[in-house]
């Protein structure tokens, strides 16, 4: 997608701002600042994948140890993504935050993570060209 | 892997051994393990919250089956899969397949022991004293969490075996 550069960036930043707005609203409306952890989770989610992809050579099919560390990164990323959804649900189930705040922080977190993932894919495609 | 050599009448679909399916399987395994951990954490947080009106609380005994399940998962997925099949690796000494099978047995024993421990905690702590539903949920969550660790192990194992077949196809 080399042609849709500027519009994509504008749309992505708009969605990112919307996600942050939802998460901060879910905290500030009820003055319970636990859902801010969702933002930290989703920002940290691509980090294991990124680190492990620098540690291994994925083209090396003879030694399977390179694939193992890539798998570890993917496993940790999957863990963190589900953690971003599960954390507000756990907090809401115990009555620490309200259900509305949990829904808002889950939706906002998914918007933030979607922005990060789509930005990473666009950036990778630009790198390949 | 030509079509004449296969055993069953229905062939394996092509998407089953692709790299994307395998990576999605590893992500799914991580997500399932996360789900298991947060289900158990939910029982612990709910136990300490004011919503828990019963005298029952989650303590270390409830976490012990999950610790054993996770340890079993770690052991099972640390074993190099290609060492299980044959003993013909000349550089790795004799009896490597046997050793790998012993380690794998320990891993599966820890996993099954964790699941059995989850059921044990559920029965001895919640069912036998006749605990009612909102507090009974803590025991149910324990069983579900240990079962999810098992499912996650299976998904990760199958995905990694998929990768071996993929590498084999490339090597030929």
Residue of B nearest to A62 (CA): B167
- Min Cα distance A34 → chain B (Å) is 14
Given a cut of 70, the residues of chain A with pLDDT beneath it are: 1-4, 56-66, 124-129
Q: At what angle do helices B60-78 and B96-121 cross, to 10 degrees?
A: 160
Q: What is the pLDDT of residue B143?
A: 92
Percent of chain B with pLDDT over 90: 34
Residue A16 tokens, joined: 């990112």
Contact state of A82 with B31 under an 8 Å Cβ cutoff: yes
pLDDT tens figures, B33-43:
999 999 999 99
Query: Would an 8 Å CB–CB cutoff place A58 in contact with chain B?
Result: no
Closest CB from A74, A87, A95 relative to B23:
A74
Q: What is the mean pLDDT of chain B?
A: 81
Q: What is the pLDDT of residue B19?
A: 74
Q: What is the pLDDT of residue B2?
A: 44
Q: What is the pLDDT of residue A18?
A: 92
Q: What is the pLDDT of residue A120?
A: 79
Cα–Cα distances (Å) from A80 to A38, A47, B55, B132, B144, in that order, read: 10, 10, 33, 33, 20
Mean pLDDT of B77-101: 69
Residue of A nearest to B51 (CA): A94
pLDDT tens figures, B147-172:
999 999 999 888 877 755 555 555 44
Cα–Cα distances (Å) from A3 to A12, A126, A129, B151, in that order, read: 15, 11, 12, 43
Chain A contact set for B82 (CB, 8 A):
64
Query: Would an 8 Å CB–CB cutoff place B45 in contact with chain A?
Result: yes
Chain A contact set for B26 (CB, 8 A):
71, 74-75, 78
pLDDT tens figures, A56-73:
665 555 555 567 788 888
pLDDT tens figures, B26-78:
899 999 999 999 999 999 988 888 887 778 888 888 899 999 999 999 998 88
Q: Is the pLDDT of residue B91 over 60?
A: no
Percent of chain B with pLDDT over 70: 78
Closest CB from B34, B49, B82 relative to A96:
B49
Q: How confident is the model at residue B119 (pLDDT cuts 50, 70, 90)?
A: very high
């Amino acid at each position: 997608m080399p042609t849709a550069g500027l519009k994509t960036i504008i749309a992505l930043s708009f969605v990112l701002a919307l996600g942050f707005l939802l998460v901060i609203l879910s905290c500030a409306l009820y003055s319970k600042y636990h859902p801010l952890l969702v933002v930290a989770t989703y920002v940290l989610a691509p980090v294991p994948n990124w680190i492990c992809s620098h540690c291994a050579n994925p083209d090396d099919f003879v030694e399977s140890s390179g694939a193992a560390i890539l798998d570890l990164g993917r496993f940790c990323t999957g863990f963190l993504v589900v953690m971003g959804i599960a954390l507000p649900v756990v907090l809401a189930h115990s009555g620490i935050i309200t259900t509305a705040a949990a829904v808002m922080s889950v939706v906002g977190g998914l918007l933030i993570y979607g922005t990060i993932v789509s930005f990473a894919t666009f950036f990778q495609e630009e790198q390949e060209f | 892997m030509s079509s004449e050599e296969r055993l069953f009448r229905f062939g394996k679909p092509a998407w089953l051994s692709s790299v994307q399916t395998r990576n999605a399987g590893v992500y799914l395994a991580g997500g399932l393990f996360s789900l298991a951990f947060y289900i158990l954490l939910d029982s612990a947080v709910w136990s300490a919250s004011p919503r828990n009106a019963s005298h029952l609380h989650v303590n270390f005994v409830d976490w012990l089956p999950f610790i054993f399940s996770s340890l079993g998962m770690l052991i099972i997925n640390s074993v190099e899969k290609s060492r299980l099949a044959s003993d013909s690796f000349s550089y790795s000494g004799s009896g490597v397949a046997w050793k790998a099978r012993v380690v794998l047995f320990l891993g599966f024993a820890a996993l099954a022991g964790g699941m059995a421990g989850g059921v044990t905690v559920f029965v001895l702590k919640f069912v036998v004293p006749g605990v009612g539903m909102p507090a009974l949920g803590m025991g149910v969550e324990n069983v579900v969490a240990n079962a999810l660790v098992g499912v996650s192990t299976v998904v990760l194992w199958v995905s990694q075996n998929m990768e071996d077949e993929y590498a084999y196809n490339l090597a030929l």
